[in-house]
Amino acid sequence: MLGSAQRLAVTSSQPSDAATPAVSAFYDRFPYPGDPLQDGPPPGYNWRWCVDSVRAFVDGVLPVPAKGQTRRSWRVLDAGCGTGVSTDYLCHLNPGSAVLAVDISAGALGVARERCRRSGAAAQVSELRIEQCSLLDLGQEGDFDHINSVGVLHHLQEPQAGLVALAQRLRLGGTLHLFLYADGGRWEIQRTQQALQLLNVGHGEDGLRLGRALLATLPETNRLRRHHEQRWALDTAADANFADMYLHPQECSYSIDRLMAFTACSGLSFAGFSNPEVWDPARLLEGELLERAQELSDLERWRLMEALDPDISHFEFFLRRGDQPEALDRSDAALLSACFERNRCLWGWPSASLLGPDLMPLQLDEAEYALAQACDQAPGQPLGVLPLELDAAARCRLMRQLLDKRVLHQLTAAASG
């Protein structure tokens, strides 16, 4: 048990989603994801599970913590938590928040509870509940500031119903992070799935054994085998991960156009991809071709990248309740009067040599590091009055660089002293 704050809900005898029994039985057999359990906090971070970082990414600014508080407290839902990898991070990256994790698989939830017990997740938050129920049955839970639902909706018989149900649980200004399969990058996976279905290997241990045998038996030059060995062999080393990829009883995938139509049904605003670098034409193009690509609308640019990169196997993105905020004012006057705080998703702080939010090397020059330290050591102080021997123009120039590198987050207003 994780304490009095955690309880187990009674599973409904009439599941809301028709796929629930088959999917639940599959994950009871193969609890997913198959990440090993360990004592202590989870390694590193994933900024998409830190609500402060998500809000700064989506809105451009963060609200000032409540009076008398040094941190924000969020209400967070992990919808389809599986074995609790995401739940563990949500607790450790959002200290003081209230976290509800739900899943339909009793087997997966057993692993999630043990994972969170060993990591000390419950001690990080004001409340942790891990419950067995469908994400379609959360009407009594009220609203959430942030919902995480990664790799879940594409396994429902009616994904649209799942999306609408989650949207109804999101409060104004709240954010929803989704991960859904993409058609293009799953060409080989889907054909391997089809072959195993035709061979009638099933969804259990026989399917696992025969699925691995199939990919080992095909000629080395076979496209399906080559693709698996080059791209997915490491990811599917754990049996649960292999089964989830090749033996799942129900899943669907999307093109960029079908994805946009799908999200439109939620009543939420599309707030951007959480891996925007994947959708940047500069990753693949240069010269005149890049110039032409940059003149396209967002949707046309995404269609272009979908066409150019057949390895894009999923979409990960944010939706937001309410209209998208206006573009952030980065004028000198606005920056000088604003307050800033350090992004908690940095590896190696305090140091000028870091890993940034995406765990990529990040080097700050001496002036950037001094400004970041000043903001970190003087919370609530506007940029214009920080104790630094820099003129206003230099402060603003450096601050724009630090914001672009996501080292700092801007607050909505200067905190009162």
Q: According to the model, what pLDDT value does residue 379 have? A: 84
pLDDT of res. 21: 85
Pick from 342, 346, 376: nearest CA to 361: 346
Exposed, middle or buried, 8 (CB in 10 Å: 0-12/13-18/19+)? middle
User: Which tens digits make up the pLDDT trace of 356-410?
Assistant: 999 999 999 999 999 999 999 998 899 999 999 999 999 999 999 999 999 999 9
Tokens of 299: 């949707």
The partner residues of 272 in beta bridges, in order of sequence, read: 318
Alpha carbon distance 8, 10 (integer Å): 7
The Cβ-side half-sphere exposure at 375, using a 13 Å CA radius, reads 28
Per-residue tokens: 162: 């799942």
Query: Do 248 and 149 touch, CB atoms closer than 8 A?
Result: no
Residue extents of the structural domains in the chain: 1-183+253-326, 184-246, 332-411
Q: In sequence order, what are the residues at sequence separation of 6 or more whose Cβ sits closer than 8 angstroms to the Cβ of residue 165?
A: 135, 136, 138
What is the residue-level pLDDT of the chain in tens, covering all 417 positions?
A: 344 344 333 334 455 776 678 899 999 999 999 999 999 999 999 999 999 999 999 999 999 887 777 789 999 999 999 999 999 999 999 999 999 999 999 999 999 999 999 999 999 999 999 999 999 999 999 999 999 999 999 999 999 999 999 999 999 999 999 999 999 999 999 999 999 999 999 999 999 999 999 999 999 999 999 999 999 999 999 999 999 999 999 999 999 999 999 999 999 999 999 999 999 999 999 999 999 999 999 999 999 999 999 999 999 999 999 988 888 889 999 999 999 999 999 999 999 999 999 999 999 999 999 999 999 999 889 999 999 999 999 999 999 999 999 999 999 864 433
Distance, CA of 26 to CA of 31 (rounded, Å): 8
| 13-57 residue pLDDT tens | 455 776 678 899 999 999 999 999 999 999 999 999 999 999 999
Token pair of 359 as six digits: 């765990």
DSSP 8-class letter at 290: H
Instruction: Domain 1-183+253-326: give its CATH architecture.
Output: 3-Layer(aba) Sandwich (3.40)
Asked whether the CA dihedral 78, 79, 81, 85 is positive or negative, the reply is negative
Say what the pLDDT of residue 180 is: 98
Separation of first and last alpha carbons in the chain: 42
Report the DSSP pairing between strands 353-355 and 340-342: unpaired
Give the type of residue at 383. Answer: L
DSSP state of 182: B
In what helix (H) or strand (E) does residue 23 lie, and over which residues does it extend? helix 20-29
Give helix 298-308 / helix 287-294 axis angle, nearest 10°.
140
> What's the burial of 182, exposed, middle or buried (CB within 10 Å: 0-12/13-18/19+)?
buried
Residues found in the chain: 417
Instruction: List, in sequence order, every residue forming a beta bridge with 408; answer none if it has no partner.
Output: 342
pTM over 0.95: no
Q: Which residues pair with 315 in a beta bridge?
A: 180
